[in-house]
Structure 1
């Protein structure tokens, strides 16, 4: 695994420390009706790509 650059580390802190935590919270928000079931998965996918393909 490659070392995270400072920008990526800030993003991870901003989303709760890990993409897995953010994704779990997003899924809970969708189930609770707080997040759009169409938009939130796209946000999670974009973050995943930005963090790991950077």
Structure 2
């Protein structure tokens, strides 16, 4: 039991910590991608508005 507590549990905790760090990194990157996508959608909507106004005027 002592071996399990001192070696196996330690390694399991290290693996869990590694997974947690990877998850946090991926989560941050997805948030950045979503922010960029929202920005692009806003730009696209503004461009569509301008084009629609010009087509109605023309």
Which TM-score applies when normalising by structure 2?
Answer: 0.30
Higher fraction of helix: 2
> Which protein shows a greater Rg?
2
Which TM-score applies when normalising by structure 1?
Answer: 0.32
Q: Which has the higher contact order (CA 8 A, sep 6+)?
A: 1
